[in-house]
């Protein structure tokens, strides 16, 4: 199983480390031999059809900041799939919802050349969900996106497999581990949201743009993917109403009572006869709500269904390794489905 990986930042490098540690185990367990045969980043691309030397690749990145360092000329994308003998394309490049980012044309090209696609980046899916899924169907290929829809927390797999046959009416999501870590620290350390965010940023746990985490954009994107998966194909992610933690007033913050109520940034998607609505906003939760007990960088999703009642999944703390592991899970599922 040959992999082309786009994006060699924190998640791309974590994916490389995970594969180095787990490849032999996966081959024994699943009978799948996985190799990374091409990596792309802003510096260029490096390709070897029999598999890249992953240790050397990580060393190159550490020493030069890129994977290519001018070793290869600009590469025709169509030729890339041929030279790498690729089976699956993983998009882990930077998210850009305004244009779809660098991942959008690569995903389109990969599908047309017969590759399945695994998305960790959210940009292309947010920008062109319908077009990409229509293209995948036309090409007889599959797009998986566990890494884009809460990473190590198995939201999509729970919806598609564990809840198969049930109708999902409502989805609630505590889907951004960074914002959950921040509100946990605000309550535990009696500090401001700004201070907690700055600390998380210094630790490398928060995005440089606060609108992604505490502003609610990341949660909105994940809720959009889940709503498209479980509730309705018609919804547009730009129709989601968002109120971030940064919009809470000082008076509202003081409403939380130690041990009794907690602020959480909650996404909600609800299907009614009038249509589907998706929103993200801070909720002051009591101990009766299952999200009350989910603290730190952990996440959670709550499905309400017609025949299976309410189903809660929690955990999957946010980290590059968790996102990388979710991508490899999708690769393993694709390999097993194609076998």
Q: Which residues contact 233 (CB under 8 A, 6 or more apart)?
A: 130
Structural contact between residues 38 and 16, judged by C-beta atoms closer than 8 angstroms: no
Q: Are residues 132 and 221 in the same domain?
A: no
Q: Are residues 229 and 134 in the same domain?
A: no
Q: Are residues 116 and 176 in the same domain?
A: no
Q: What pLDDT sits at residue 120?
A: 98
pLDDT mean over 154-175: 97
**Predicted structure pTM score:** 0.94
Q: Are residues 84 and 21 in the same domain?
A: yes
Alpha helices (runs of H) in the chain, residue ranges in sequence order: 10-30, 54-64, 77-84, 103-112, 123-139, 155-157, 177-189, 193-202, 217-230, 250-253, 320-338
Confidence of residue 99 (pLDDT cuts 50, 70, 90): very high
Q: Are residues 144 and 190 in the same domain?
A: no
Binding residues for NADP(+): 7-12
- Give me the CATH number covering residue 63: 3.40.50.720
Q: Are residues 148 and 197 in the same domain?
A: no
State what percent of residues in the chain have pLDDT above 90. Answer: 86
Confidence of residue 73 (pLDDT cuts 50, 70, 90): very low
Structural domain tally of the chain? 2
- What DSSP line would sit under 2-63, residue for residue? EEEEE--SHHHHHHHHHHHHHHHHHHHHH----EEEEEEETTEEEE-TT---HHHHHHHHHH
- Give me the CATH number covering residue 221: 3.30.360.10
Range of the domain at 15: 2-152+321-338
- Residues identified as active-site: 222
Q: Are residues 196 and 289 in the same domain?
A: yes
Locus of tokens 């980012």: 101
Q: Are residues 331 and 306 in the same domain?
A: no
Structural contact between residues 327 and 147, judged by C-beta atoms closer than 8 angstroms: yes
Q: Are residues 175 and 77 in the same domain?
A: no
Q: Are residues 113 and 163 in the same domain?
A: no
Q: Are residues 267 and 159 in the same domain?
A: yes
Binding residues for NADPH: 122
* Residue 155 Rama label (left phi>0; alpha psi -120 to 50; beta): alpha
Binding residues: 7-12, 122, 207
Q: Are residues 129 and 178 in the same domain?
A: no
Confidence of residue 292 (pLDDT cuts 50, 70, 90): very high
């Amino acid at each position: 199983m040959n992999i082309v990986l786009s994006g060699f930042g924190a998640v791309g490098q974590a994916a490389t480390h995970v594969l180095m540690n787990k490849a032999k185990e996966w081959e024994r367990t699943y009978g799948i031999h996985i190799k990374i045969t091409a990596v792309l980043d802003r510096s260029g691309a490096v390709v070897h059809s029999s598999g890249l030397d992953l240790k050397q690749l990580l060393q190159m990145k550490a020493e030069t900041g890129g994977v290519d360092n001018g070793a290869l000329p600009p590469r025709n994308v169509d030729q890339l799939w041929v030279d790498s003998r690729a089976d699956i394309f993983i998009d882990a490049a930077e998210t850009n919802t305004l244009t779809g980012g660098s991942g959008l044309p690569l995903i389109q090209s990969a599908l047309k050349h017969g590759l399945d696609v695994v998305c960790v980046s959210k940009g292309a899916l947010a920008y062109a969900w319908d077009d990409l899924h229509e293209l995948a169907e036309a090409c007889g290929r599959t797009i998986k996106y566990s890494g884009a829809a809460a990473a190590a927390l198995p939201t999509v797999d729970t919806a598609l497999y564990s809840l198969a046959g049930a109708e999902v009416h409502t989805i609630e999501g505590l889907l951004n581990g960074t914002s959950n870590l921040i509100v946990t620290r605000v309550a535990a350390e009696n500090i401001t949201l700004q201070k907690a965010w700055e600390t998380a940023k210094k630790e490398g746990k928060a995005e440089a743009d606060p609108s992604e985490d505490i502003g609610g954009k990341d949660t909105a994107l994940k809720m959009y993917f889940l709503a498209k998966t479980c509730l309705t194909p018609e919804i547009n992610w730009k129709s989601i109403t968002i109120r971030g933690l940064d919009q809470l007033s000082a008076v509202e913050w003081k409403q939380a009572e130690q041990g009794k109520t907690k602020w959480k940034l909650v996404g909600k998607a609800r299907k009614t006869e009038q249509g589907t609505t998706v929103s993200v906003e801070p909720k002051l939760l009591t101990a009766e709500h299952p999200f009350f007990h989910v603290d730190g960088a952990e996440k959670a999703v709550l499905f309400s269904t017609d025949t299976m009642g309410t189903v809660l999944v929690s955990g999957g703390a946010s980290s590059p390794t968790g996102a990388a592991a979710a991508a490899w899970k999708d690769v393993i599922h694709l390999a097993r489905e194609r076998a």
